[in-house]
A and B are shown apart, each in its own frame.
Chain A
Amino acid sequence: EIVLTQSPVTLSLSPGERATLSCRASQSVSAYLAWYQQKAGQAPRLLIHDASNRATGIPARFSGSGSGTDFTLTISSLEPEDFAVYYCQQRSTWPLTFGGGTKVEIK
């Protein structure tokens, strides 16, 4: 199975700062990578699909890039509601797999 490794595990930032999250795949997933945001007690929310496409209703401050094995989620300027856990997921190959997550916390 394809293993997704996310870094850092925790990112401590202040509102207004830029957040850069990484997801590395153990083998190429082409552009078939998604990003989710999850807040406590809630289901994951799809942010980005196919590496760089924002899902419906997702603000423009969220952007995704990358292909192959290295991917990045960027939040250009953190809003208070953006402090949460973020996961990546690949859909290139069965079984579908998720990364271990990056927690973006308030510094």
Chain B
Amino acid sequence: QLQLQESGPGLVKPSETLSLTCTVSGGSISNSNYYWGWIRQPPGKGPEWIGSINYSGSTFYNPSLRGRVTIFVDTSNNHFSLSLTSVTPADTAVYYCARPKQLAVGGCFDLWGQGTWVTVSS
């Protein structure tokens, strides 16, 4: 069945760029028009949606991240990636990739990766 797996560095220095990849296995990103998402969860807090992308590269971002975020898709390698620039300790969180239940733009998420912990510290 379809599975998602996040990968990337667990430690990033302040002011640098956080880069994560979500690899999709058991199915193709291109098969349906899902808006695949990145969601993060700081320690002890609720989840925060970061942004979403579909197979053609159409994106939606959370304005709270003030232009620091880029999400891009690589259909040939069946993965999508997150880039978050100028990180601060406030960006320390568990980062999840997820697939929405709905094909429509804007969904709730019924399939999640296991999450990857990212610490921002010098």
B-binding residues in A (CB < 8 A): 1, 32, 34, 43-46, 49, 55-56, 87, 89, 91-101
Q: Does B2 contact A (CB under 8 A)?
A: no
The answer to whether A49 touches B108, judged by C-beta atoms less than 8 angstroms apart, is yes
The answer to whether B109 touches A46, judged by C-beta atoms less than 8 angstroms apart, is yes
A-binding residues in B (CB < 8 A): 37, 45-49, 52, 60-64, 96, 98, 100-102, 106-110, 112-115
The answer to whether A98 touches B49, judged by C-beta atoms less than 8 angstroms apart, is yes
The 8 Å CB contact of B113, one of A43, A55, A96, A97, is A43
Closest Cβ–Cβ distance, residue B32 to chain A (whole Å): 17
The answer to whether A44 touches B101, judged by C-beta atoms less than 8 angstroms apart, is no
| B48 neighbours in A (Cβ, 8 Å) | 98
Closest Cβ–Cβ distance, residue A14 to chain B (whole Å): 25
The 8 Å CB contact of B60, one of A43, A49, A94, A101, is A94
Closest Cβ–Cβ distance, residue A25 to chain B (whole Å): 14
Cα distance A4–B88 in the bound complex, in angstroms: 26
